[in-house]
């Protein structure tokens, strides 16, 4: 994938009238903005810091500079009282979400020292260095009336874990929005016949996420597979042996078949510059394409673990959910209900086909299957459980022409699973298995969803706000 850095805009606000009145105030507030720039800095983003804006003229120029810089999100650092006319021009032209940083330098003014200053001018200057909260209602009022999307972080510039976490979450959400907008999703084959819930509106996905959808052909994958060299095949086979725990019952011929297809899949996504792939195909018995499609599971699992999520059954919505979770660093494995365990109050969830091997509990197994249930052919498949600990489930829903994000936080827990050569895990939810299933179903998702490690619902909520998408969290 072509890589473009996330661009984060930053500016502080003040009032030029104050500077000749209060010695040192401008420099002090400017230093706050510099400190915020350091907080925002990340190796994979560019911070466009325009410093302290204190007049409408400077604000207008800032608006042009942010637009020229093509920023993805703007952090507005409110350092003291400032006129809303020094704010709106700076963000209006960029037309990107704005996070208002309402941050005091410390938790509270030292009232004793402050009142002992004895000079009311000095006292007023000191107060102005703390009055970041003062203009925020004015700014919010003008933003609402002007149609500017904004969000708030309130707290202290330093030593505030809540502020630091919120800033990190907004940057992570902006990064994922940026990834989705620049992603190329390949769709190959056709839908699984009769699964009405997974039929997708590709235009709605492009409109919501910015994702480019490339319709690709199995013919090219088959050609690349035919052209695989012996050296490439052997290297692929060794890589598979290193990455997986291979069941002794696996036929070496089937492993070599999977290894050859894995080589072709890697070339395929590289040639098409794909960041994700949804596929389904059946072909006819004995055809080359049947041979290809029945040997993709291992290669697709490797792609999924390396930043190119792959969803079977042509599940466009779910590969979008997988890409979101993976871009948050949470993984993102294809899953659905398998069964319920009312004795242990857990839901068993998994799926046949590719799994996200980097979020597996232990090493992912490769097992032979005499039949791919509900699909054509036979061969090798992967079996894994998601790492024990906190997890987040995510479903991308199409509802009334709009995209909705549905999420839930739970726990992947130890215990017996179905050892049938599929991904399979046990999940516990704080609202209980019965209520989770009913609340989740009530939102009308497709029967597939994605699961990732960690609790990241707060980040998903922020992503929804940045993309203007409804987010529903059931637990």
**Residue 98's closest CA among 132, 144, 155?**
144
Reading phi first (left if > 0) and then psi (alpha if -120 to 50, else beta), residue 276 is in: beta
The mean pLDDT value for 203-215 works out to: 96
**pLDDT, average across residues 421-432:** 94
Residues 381-387 have a mean pLDDT of 94
CA separation, residue 67 to residues 11, 13, 14, 61 (Å): 14, 18, 21, 10
Distance of alpha carbon 233 from alpha carbon 209, whole angstroms: 37
166 close to 121: Cβ distance less than 8 angstroms: no
Per-residue pLDDT tens for 259-282?
Answer: 999 999 999 999 999 999 999 998
Question: If phi over 0 gives left and psi between -120 and 50 gives alpha, with beta otherwise, what is residue 115?
Answer: alpha
Q: How far is CA 156 from its chain centroid?
A: 27
Structure confidence at residue 286 (pLDDT): 85
**The pLDDT of residue 1 is above 60:** no
Instruction: State the angle between helix axes of 161-182 and 202-209 in degrees (0 to 180), rounded to the nearest 10.
Output: 140
Confidence of residue 287 (pLDDT cuts 50, 70, 90): very high
Once rounded to an integer, what is the mean pLDDT over residues 213-230? 96
| pLDDT tens per residue across span 17-31 | 999 999 999 999 999
- What average pLDDT does this structure show over 204-230? 96
User: What is residue 373's predicted lDDT score, i.e. its pLDDT?
Assistant: 77
Judge contact between 418 and 350, C-beta under 8 A: yes
Asked if residues 185 and 212 have their Cβ atoms less than 8 Å apart, the reply is yes
Cβ atoms of 443 and 397 within 8 Å: the answer is yes
Could you tell me the two tokens for 311?
């969803």
Residue 26 CA: distances (Å) to CA of 15, 129, 150, 438: 9, 9, 26, 57
Asked whether the predicted pLDDT for residue 3 surpasses 80, the reply is: no
Q: Which structure tokens are listed for 371?
A: 């039949």
Mean pLDDT of the chain: 95
From the number of C-beta atoms within 10 Å of its C-beta (0-12, 13-18, 19+), residue 111 rates as exposed
pLDDT at 120 over 80: yes
pLDDT in tens, 30-75: 999 999 999 999 999 999 999 999 999 999 999 999 999 999 999 9
| 375 has a pLDDT exceeding 90 | no
Banded pLDDT at 118 (limits 50, 70, 90): confident
**Partners of residue 412 on adjacent β-strands:** 389, 427
Confidence grade of residue 2 (pLDDT, cut at 50, 70, 90): low
d(CA 279, CA 353): 11
Q: Give residues with Cβ within 8 angstroms of 304, minimum separation 6.
A: 310, 322, 326, 332, 333, 354, 355, 356, 357
d(CA 81, CA 412): 48
pTM, to two decimals: 0.95
Integer Cα distance of 78 and 155 in angstroms: 11
Higher pLDDT, 284 or 60: 60
Start-to-end C-alpha separation, the chain:
34
Dist CA 314 CA 296 (whole Å): 14
- pLDDT tens column, 70-113: 999 999 999 999 999 999 999 999 999 999 999 999 999 999 99
């Amino acid at each position: 994938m072509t890589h473009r850095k996330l661009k984060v805009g930053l500016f502080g606000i003040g009032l030029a009238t104050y500077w000749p009145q209060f010695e040192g105030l401008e420099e002090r507030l400017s230093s706050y903005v510099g400190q915020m720039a350091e907080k925002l800095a990340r190796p994979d983003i560019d911070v466009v810091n325009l410093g302290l804006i204190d007049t409408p003229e400077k604000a207008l120029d800032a608006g042009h500079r942010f637009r020229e810089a093509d920023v993805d999100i703007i952090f507005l650092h409110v350092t003291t009282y400032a006129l809303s006319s020094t704010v709106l021009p700076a963000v209006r032209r960029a037309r990107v979400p704005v996070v208002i940083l309402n941050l005091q330098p410390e938790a509270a003014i030292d009232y004793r020292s402050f009142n002992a200053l004895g000079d009311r001018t000095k006292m007023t200057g000191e107060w102005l260095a703390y009055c970041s909260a003062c203009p925020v209602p004015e700014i919010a009022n003008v933003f609402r009336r002007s149609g500017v999307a904004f969000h708030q972080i309130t707290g202290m510039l330093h030593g505030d874990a809540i502020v630091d976490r919120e800033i990190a979450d907004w940057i992570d959400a902006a990064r994922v929005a940026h990834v989705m907008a620049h992603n190329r999703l390949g769709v190959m084959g056709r839908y699984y016949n009769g699964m009405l819930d997974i039929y997708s509106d590709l235009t709605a996905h492009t409109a919501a996420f910015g994702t480019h959808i490339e319709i690709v052909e199995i013919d090219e994958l088959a050609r690349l597979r035919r052209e695989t060299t012996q050296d490439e095949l052997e290297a692929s086979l060794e890589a598979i042996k290193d990455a997986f725990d291979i069941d002794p019952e696996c036929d070496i011929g089937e492993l070599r078949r999977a290894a050859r297809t894995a080589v072709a899949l890697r070339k395929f996504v590289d040639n098409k510059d794909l960041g994700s792939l949804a596929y389904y195909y059946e072909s006819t018995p004995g055809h080359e394409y049947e041979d290809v499609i029945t040997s993709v599971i291992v290669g697709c699992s490797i792609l999924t673990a390396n930043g190119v999520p792959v969803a079977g059954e042509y599940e466009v919505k779910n590969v979008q959910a997988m890409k979101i979770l993976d871009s948050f660093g949470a993984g993102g494995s294809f899953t659905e209900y398998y069964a319920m365990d009312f004795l242990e109050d857990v839901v068993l969830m998994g799926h046949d086909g590719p799994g996200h091997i980097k979020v597996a509990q232990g090493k992912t197994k490769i097992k032979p299957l005499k039949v791919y249930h509900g699909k054509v052919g036979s061969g090798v498949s992967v079996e894994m459980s998601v790492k024990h600990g906190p997890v987040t489930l995510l479903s991308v829903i199409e509802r009334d022409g709009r995209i909705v994000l549905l999420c839930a936080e739970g726990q992947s827990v130890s215990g017996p699973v179905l050892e049938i050569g599929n991904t399979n895990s046990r999940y516990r939810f704080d609202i209980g298995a019965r209520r989770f299933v009913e609340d989740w179903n009530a939102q009308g998702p497709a029967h597939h969803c994605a699961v990732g490690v960690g609790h990241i619902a707060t980040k998903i909520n922020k992503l929804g706000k940045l993309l203007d998408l409804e987010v529903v969290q059931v637990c």
